[in-house]
Structure 1
């Protein structure tokens, strides 16, 4: 189940419309999108199959059931979805136990949100076992709530994870800023009615209404997020 603590009152200045910040994990806060692809390549190589580089754009950012299912179908590998899921999670855990690099600006942004008591949630398509391991590096104190991909009936690109996070924080989705890195995550956040800040990782993403694209989290701070949501109001 989701892990929650009481949401703290936001202190972002008079007139701000920002009620909460919801953050993706892989490729947004931690530099791990490449880890997942490396594990997928390694596992399928052991099964006697070579993955095409173009498939990386298909599997990035999505739930493991979708990504793993696609790769099984594309390669014809003799393995079940359940068996592959175990192998992928195990391989990923081994990598993050060895090294877990944060994205530039991630630590500073999380510290700022925490210092100003901004209700913040971690919303990931990764499984709970993965999120809990990553939280030991990110710091669980930075998040009032976490949502894992294996804890919701429909994960990204469906809006459910972000709607659940907003509700858990007592926030209006229209007054939430979401930070994402993939088209799958962006689709989920936009479908939930949130304003999205995109830091593209694997594939380019164009700006649009309620979607702001930046090159790095170094460009994002609390004032920036407050300004975006207030402007949209």
Structure 2
């Protein structure tokens, strides 16, 4: 009788950015509300499902009105968001400690975001670009979340099978992207409609290297 193969080991942790590593979800909603108002829309006409975790191009298509170029809306969304980001962002509780703990354990990390590099760069100046081995931004993947492309690109860039990567996300759109790519996933506070098989925690402070290793090894019962 052949011995059982050893359980898989944690290869990398792939972090969403907005609302996961840094507290920018409120800033994105403010940017969307400002542009929507410019287009004559009322707050109740902006569906959160087309805002939370979505790239600017998707939200722009949702907000588009006859005669208004899609590119103009997308640029206004990105520009207003960038303006708010430039005023300062705050890492979410536990984010930097988790990133530093993974670095100490030799576990590589990547940032996988629906935001453009214009947004990512000032955020990295706050949290430290050196904390991430790789960054996948909106411009880098052929399709954005919820398609699997961003997470597939991150895993490939690290030379890893997605199955040994854990994605840390706060939105249903991001979780769908990670699961479609074949990653394990952790949903943090704020995530709604957490899919079956996803570990849910109320803060990054509840996550450490040991828990992530156990998750990849299949030692944590979820469901």
TM-score (normalised: structure 2) = 0.90
What is the aligned partner in structure 1 of residue 210 from structure 2?
Answer: 223
CA RMSD of aligned residues (A): 2.0
* Contact 1:205 1:213 (C-alpha < 8 Å) held by counterparts: no
1:185-228 deviation digits (Å, cap 9, x = unpaired): 00000001110000142x5233522x111111110111111111
Asked if structure 2 preserves the Cα contact closer than 8 Å seen for 1:61 and 1:184, the reply is yes
Unaligned 5+ runs, structure 1:
1-13
The aligned runs of 1:26-65 (5 Å cut-off) are: 26-52=18-44, 55-65=47-57
Q: Which residue does the alignment assign to 2:157?
A: 168
TM normalised by structure 1 equals: 0.86
CA distance in 2, matches of 1:77, 1:99: 35
CA contact (8 A) 1:182 1:200 kept: no
1:67 aligns with 2:28: no
Moved beyond 6 Å, runs of 4+: none
Q: What are structure 2's unaligned runs of at least 5 residues? A: 1-5
Question: Which of residues 171, 182, 185 is equivalent to 1:193?
Answer: 182
Give, in whole Å, the separation in 2 of the partners of 1:49 and 1:77. 13
Deviations 1:72-106 (A, max 9, x none): 2xxx3642221112111111111111120111111
**Structure 1 position 184 matched with structure 2 position 173:** yes
- In 1: Cα distance, 2:68 partner to 2:209 partner: 46
- Is 1:79 the equivalent of 2:68? yes
- Greater relative contact order (CA < 8 Å, ≥ 6 in sequence): 1
